[in-house]
Chains A and B, each alone.
Chain A
């Protein structure tokens, strides 16, 4: 199954549940095949969890979800070594992180310590417990959701953790017509119950491998780097985006190009994903954020000011 049809199938499946979010779904699937994790941030009730679950159900893969709470401990996520009196030794009990798809629901409700427990897993695909290294499955995709940090009882994610996410998506409210349609769909049975997997783990892994075949011209790479580099000197920004952002940007653009059935990346693919791939990694000056500026707006401004290669 090539990338284009993989995207088409998964997108069709997910969009039957989450209405009116085709652009977001496209980016979510792009992150899946590009090997990056996704952070969904929006107000409660906009369908974050539903989207994540719909994606999980579309792939015949092991799926676990962790509801993050303030008292959640790192061992609750990565697992714990427990002494077994029968075997007279410690046995490792794998945590929910050992799965293909992990839904970290309301990730910013847990303490930073617990959030950081996910760091190693997300960045390196492995977990170290008591000095032992436990490798995660090859397909390990984290979809985390969070409420905007202004809400009560939340801990903002540390910058390093933020950088581990390839994308930060928000869903936003759908149009009135779509909301009506949503009500109709929910009336009988939750549409989530109706969908069946349309791709296997191997399909996704194969798609990831074929991503390398999508060619990127030097001019386009340079454009991506220019966009990311621009955040480092943009006014009002204390922390710009890392080179990790450039890498993510290129891979995501590759995925988007492949979804469009093309064998090479065009600058418009980079533009399409730039805000979502970069914005969450930059830190604004305090007075700026208090003044209502958002990092997304900063990146949008950059996209609108860096000359695009033609």
Chain B
């Protein structure tokens, strides 16, 4: 009455060794040839090992869940635990075949050689109770996984694309539409791949364009301070300058206060901005894994901890630093102005900066250090005369300028202009005489230059706030400061012209609840420091994560084995012969190699009898099928003698079928429906 010959799963003709080839490609592309070899051997082992199991959908789901959890744990580990950060996710992706091989292996050892789709999709699990788990051989998806993983190695060689082309052709060849000429098929495949190649290049170019545009934009707007070549000032802006109370650095071991940590030095002033001209960066050679030496010296150390944004930062450093220790970054560069920048670092760095008062961090003055914008010359001379600067010795000039600003100028964060237009440095110098550190530093630098002293503009932070909770100095965003450097008597001297009350004025702006934020900041910092400090030796760090993973793995294992036990006690026993390899396995394998694969929902005997074989073989197959059905489904006849007889019979028959070279292409679709109706 009913037939099973419509809408069955198509008999998938898998290209032989598809997964192994995929694994080989993966191994080659990622340089993981040995793991790939091991996986290939494991995955092809069912060809030799004859044992088969009859796993049910739940077993598959459990193993799939294990793989997924493992995958997520590795992701989490790479993201939070390792120093790689988000880049570590790529590492996990390159190991995908290793993580998910368990499902395919389970499928290979399953009698049906197919994986229920509910193992892969949660949405199908809710319907599991209806007992209709659709299954599919996972060979193709796994092959795809191998290719994706191989691509994650980001090997941009023509060999990779060529290999991909060959593999795609090999994998897709059995799936091509019948009745098309091979040439047309090859052409279509070639076109598709060429299109993919072009598209991929296009995406890459577009990404580069967008990246460079965004970076340009952000460099100007957001990361102004971190730009070693340019320092935006708020000179010209009107309104209230508000800097955050967030803690940026922590400093321990400071002795002489106030200490200024400098993160940038600039020599050219134009359009309210300072630029560092001719200050290209050169790599500082590493000494060991985490020491960076800029020059020789001897002196005390300052412990500095700083947050890095995407692994990069300009380091705030004391003026006479000569050596950095414990700095776990990939690259340290310094320029002639003593600016130091690091890249490829973790989110938090803890390092000690050794200082030697006799060492000079900055290079000697150049012509640019005396240049004054023509526009400002008149104003500067006027102020200089008013301060009584001309005719004094350089050291005296610096003191005079500082004193002049202290006495005649006021510090303010509220920037006003008479008519609401842009403020200018001239306006600050001559009329308003109020401003914040950037005005004072810029003005002082230019005044020094006007009086013939080489000077530079420096930005950085002032270390002055002692945190009794943390028992170290904290540096907040609002502690950002600017000052002048003057070349006096053969060395660079800091000339801070900003009136002394500025630090307190900034502190007044702090909200009342801010100590709570500080506390959280401290907790977060402590956690990160604890994490990073464990990182000194990589093993200790891994151990921490391993300790976190072991209980989880143990829990999963316990769940799985416990449920399995229940299964063995109830269902498995009643279903019977669950883990017994079928005695007719050789026969089925022979048939499968000829292209005959039994759909999972067609009973074995009708299927065998429907195979397009010669009449003699038909009879033999029918007899074996009958004996097998007896052995398998007659509860009264289970004994080992039948099983061994059956094994021999099946083996004989397999040989006979092999001998009689039947052509499977003649009639690929088994006529199992005919035997049923």
Contacts and interface: CB of A to CB of B under 8 A. Distances in A.
Given A23-B677, A222-B574, A276-B1, A307 B600 contact: yes
B676 A219 contact: no
B633 A265 contact: yes
A305 B134 contact: yes
B1 A264 contact: no
Interface in B1-22: 1-2, 4, 7-8
A101 B630 CA distance: 36
A220 interface: yes
B6 to A, nearest CB: 8
B676 A268 contact: yes
Given A23-B1, A304-B7, A264 B601 contact: no
B310 interface: no
B132 A264 contact: no
Contacts of A119: none
Contacts of A233: 127, 129-131
Most A Cβ at <10 Å: residue of B130, B571, B577, B629: B130
Contacts of B4: 271, 303-304
A266 interface: yes
Interface in B145-196: none
A219 B606 contact: no
B644 interface: no
Interface in B118-142: 127, 129-135
Contact of B582 (A23, A272, A302, A310): A310
Contacts of B606: 268
A98 B575 CA distance: 43
Contacts of B676: 268, 271-272
B605 A266 contact: yes
Interface residues of A, number: 40
B603 interface: yes
B270 interface: no
Contact of A264 (B2, B635, B675): B635
B605 A307 contact: no
Interface in A14-39: 23-24, 27
Contact of A306 (B111, B112, B131): B131
Given A222-B575, A303-B601, A215 B8 contact: no
A140 B595 CA distance: 51
B633 A219 contact: yes
Interface in B592-634: 598, 600-606, 629-630, 632-634
B418 interface: no
B501 interface: no
A304 B5 CA distance: 9
A308 B603 contact: yes
A306 B132 contact: yes
B577 to A, nearest CB: 8
Interface in B572-597: 574-577, 582
A9 interface: no
A310 B636 contact: no
Interface string A88-107: 00000000000000000000
Contact of B634 (A23, A222, A264, A268): A264
Contacts of B637: 264
B1 A306 contact: no
B602 A308 contact: yes
A266 B603 contact: yes
Most A Cβ at <10 Å: residue of B7, B111, B582, B602: B602
Contacts of A61: none
A275 interface: yes
A216 B604 CA distance: 17
Interface string A206-225: 00000000011111101000
Contacts of B112: 307
Contacts of A203: none
Contacts, number: 113
A303 B1 CA distance: 13
A233 B635 CA distance: 30
Contacts of B605: 266, 268
A229 interface: yes
Contacts of B602: 308
B629 A266 contact: yes
B632 A230 contact: no
B127 to A, nearest CB: 6
A303 B571 CA distance: 21
B632 A217 contact: yes
Contacts of A268: 603, 605-606, 675-676
A217 B634 CA distance: 6
B153 to A, nearest CB: 38
B1 A218 contact: no
Nearest to B116: A307
Contacts of B571: 222
Contact of B2 (A265, A267, A275): A275
A285 B454 CA distance: 91
A76 interface: no
Contacts of A271: 2, 4, 603, 676
A275 B1 contact: yes
Interface in A240-291: 263-268, 271-272, 274-276
Nearest to A233: B130
Given A23-B1, A304-B4, A229 B130 contact: yes
A34 B342 CA distance: 86
B634 A263 contact: yes
Contacts of B633: 217, 219-220, 264-267, 309
A300 interface: yes
Contacts of B2: 271, 274-275, 300, 303
B177 to A, nearest CB: 25
Contact of A234 (B130, B134, B601, B634): B130
B576 A217 contact: yes
B636 A264 contact: yes
A8 to B, nearest CB: 19
Contacts of B134: 305
Contacts of B603: 266-268, 271, 308, 310
A226 interface: yes
Contacts of B574: 218, 222
B575 A264 contact: no
Given A230-B130, A233-B130, A308 B576 contact: no
A232 interface: yes
A226 B575 CA distance: 12
A246 B574 CA distance: 17
A189 to B, nearest CB: 31
B345 to A, nearest CB: 55
A87 B143 CA distance: 90
Contacts of A230: 130-132
A231 B577 CA distance: 27
A265 B633 CA distance: 7
A239 to B, nearest CB: 14
Contacts of A231: 130
Most A Cβ at <10 Å: residue of B131, B632, B635: B131
21 contacts: A27-B1, A215-B634, A218-B574, A218-B575, A219-B575, A219-B633, A229-B129, A233-B127, A233-B129, A266-B603, A267-B603, A267-B633, A268-B605, A271-B603, A272-B676, A276-B1, A308-B604, A309-B632, A309-B633, A310-B604, A310-B632
Closest 7 pairs between A and B when the two form their complex, measured CB to CB: A233-B130, A264-B634, A268-B603, A230-B131, A305-B132, A226-B131, A217-B633
Given A266-B629, A308-B601, 19 more contacts: A23-B677, A217-B576, A217-B633, A220-B633, A229-B129, A229-B130, A234-B130, A271-B4, A271-B603, A272-B676, A302-B130, A303-B2, A303-B4, A305-B134, A307-B112, A307-B133, A308-B604, A309-B633, A310-B604
